Amino acid sequence: MTYRMLLTLAAVVAVPASAQDVRSGSLTVTSPWSRATAPRATVGAGFLTIRNGDAQADRLVSVTSPRAERVEIHAMSMKNGVMRMRPLANGVTVPPQRATTLAPGGNHLMLMGLKAPLKAGERVPVTLRFARAGLVTTQLVVGSAGAAAPMGSHEGHH
């Protein structure tokens, strides 16, 4: 059993199935979530797990949400001790028979130009476009502002 498989199993055990889990063909999107934003914040984050049960790779190409002007797919990396984010122009690849998790400190969705702050308890619709599986719509469940806080902050993103 590979380390990656162990990580995947751990995620399955730790995160209960929720009503927001959606399936499209052999692709499953689970545990979509976000965090409450400050009252005047215009940027929010989104996290979720994508499982590809197919024999071929798929790719998350783009994302939209009625709550944001646009949604970007970001990578986070450490450079000279500082966390930096950059848009992933080609999106996120999900290898065959694998799961990819977008999580604080790693790849994530960035909701840019929020029309209103994200409040704990609300559900934010997002539509994910995959190269092969097509459109998958789900809802980010908004947790408290400090929920599983990432190492870096999204403040000063612009």
List of residues contacting Cu ion (CB under 5 A): 74, 85, 110
Within 8 A by CB and 6+ apart from 76, the residues are 83, 84, 85, 105, 106, 107, 108, 150, 152
Nearest approach, Cβ of residue 109 and Cu ion (Å): 8
Buried b (16+ CB within 10 A) or exposed e, 59-91: bbeebbbebbeebbbbebeeeeeeeebeeeeeb
In the chain, the amino acid numbered 13 is V
Nearest approach, Cβ of residue 28 and Cu ion (Å): 24
Nearer to Cu ion, 51 or 154 (CB): 154
Nearer to Cu ion, 67 or 74 (CB): 74
Nearer to Cu ion, 25 or 105 (CB): 105
Nearest approach, Cβ of residue 150 and Cu ion (Å): 9
